[in-house]
Amino acid sequence: MAVLSVDDLTVAYGDHTVFSNLSFTINSGDFLVVVGENGVGKTTLVKALLGLIKPKEGTINIPKDTRLGYVPQFRNLDEEYPLSIRDFVALNSRQSRWPWLTKKERHRLDRIIRITDLTKIAGRPLGLASGGEKQRAYLAQALLTNPRLLILDESTASLDNEMKYSLLDLVARFQEDGLSVMFITHDWDLAQRYGTRYLHMQADGYTAGSINELAAIVKGEEEC
């Protein structure tokens, strides 16, 4: 079952077309990796999917029951950022509108914090957390609403290898429970290790398919 489908999508900033006639579908349980050089419009695509920019042409179809979770590449939080990790994650609690968290919301929050291995440091200010801890907190916040599709925009770019794997292993566990993932990355190794399908964006078009086919493209890129 599709959690997102994009049909003939063209996005432009003024006269400058970022990409055109892009079509792809993400099904339930897919781990779609989006690869491609800088400037081919990967982040622009994410913005369009999140509704932050209006496409010029084409349609983005997100079924009503698809909740989106989004983990950005970068957040502008300095070391004096005051909220604790727990309070930061809780910002995304949306089951009720009370100023305080309901019992149900607290349970969900505790569970997500436990799964993302943040329990021990949950009381510490996020501003003082390490890069890996911050990304785990961003992931926990996105997972709090129990999304059906999680979009990771270069979320591992600033992490060392071990942290990359541990973050994506965590995501993969949710994927086994039916979460679909769209992972934007530069890292071909990670793409092949975790992806089930790929979307390769290029300046003059795109290719998409099962992850096994990506190997041939990788080989081609390496020869270039």
Partner 1 sequence: MLSLAFMRHAFVASNFIAIVSGVIGVFVVARQLSFLTHTLSEIGFAGASFAVFAGWAPLDGMILFTMLSSVLVGQMSIKESRREAVISAVSGLFIGLGILFLSLSSQTASSATSILFGSVVGISASEVHQLIILSAVVLAITVLIYRQLKFSSFDEVGAQVSGFNQTVISVVFLLLLALSVSVAAQIVGSLLIFILLTIPAASAKYFTHGVAKMMGLAILFSLLGTWAGLLLGYLTNWPVSFFIAVIEVIIYVIALLYQNFIEAN
Residue (98 or 223) nearer to partner 1, CB = 98
- DSSP assignment letter at 64: T
Give residues 4-23 in contact with partner 1 (rule: CB under 8 A).
Answer: none
| Helix boundaries (H) for 129-201 | 131-143, 161-176, 188-194
CB of 180 to partner 1, least distance (A): 16
The one among 125, 172, 193, 202 contacting partner 1 by CB under 8 A: 125
For residue 65, report the phi and psi dihedrals to the nearest 5 degrees: -90, 5
Report CA Rg, the chain.
18
Residue 39, exposed/middle/buried by CB under 10 A (0-12, 13-18, 19+)?
exposed
Q: Which of residues 140-199 bind partner 1 (CB under 8 A)?
A: 141-142
Pattern 72-91, binding to partner 1, x per CB under 8 A?
A: x--xx---x-xxx--xx--x
Taking the complex as a whole, how short is the minimal distance between the CB of residue 118 and partner 1, in angstroms? Answer: 14
Per the document, the length of the chain is 224
Q: What are phi and psi of 111, to 5 degrees?
A: -65, -45
Residue 53 interacts with partner 1 (CB under 8 A)? no
Q: How many residues bind partner 1 (CB under 8 A)?
A: 27
Out of 54, 65, 99, 204, the residue judged to bind partner 1 by CB under 8 A: 99
The dihedral region occupied by 165, where left means phi > 0, alpha psi between -120 and 50, and beta the remainder, is alpha
Nearer to partner 1, 71 or 214 (CB): 71
Considering the complex, what minimum distance in angstroms separates the CB of residue 202 from partner 1? 27
CB closer to partner 1, 2 vs 53: 53
Q: Confirm if 60 and 48 have CB atoms less than 8 A apart.
A: yes
Residue closer to partner 1 by CB (options 26, 142) is 142
- Exposed e or buried b for every residue in 92-125, given b needs 16+ CB within 10 A? bbeeeeeeeeeeebeebbeebbebbebeebbeeb
Contact 211, 190 (CB under 8 A): no
Contact region with partner 1 (CB under 8 A), list: 34-42, 107-115, 117-125, 206-214: 117-125
List the one residue from 93, 116, 135, 155 that touches partner 1 (CB under 8 A).
93
- What is the binding site for partner 1 (CB under 8 A)? 50-52, 68, 70, 72, 75-76, 80, 82-84, 87-88, 91-94, 97, 99-100, 123-125, 138, 141-142
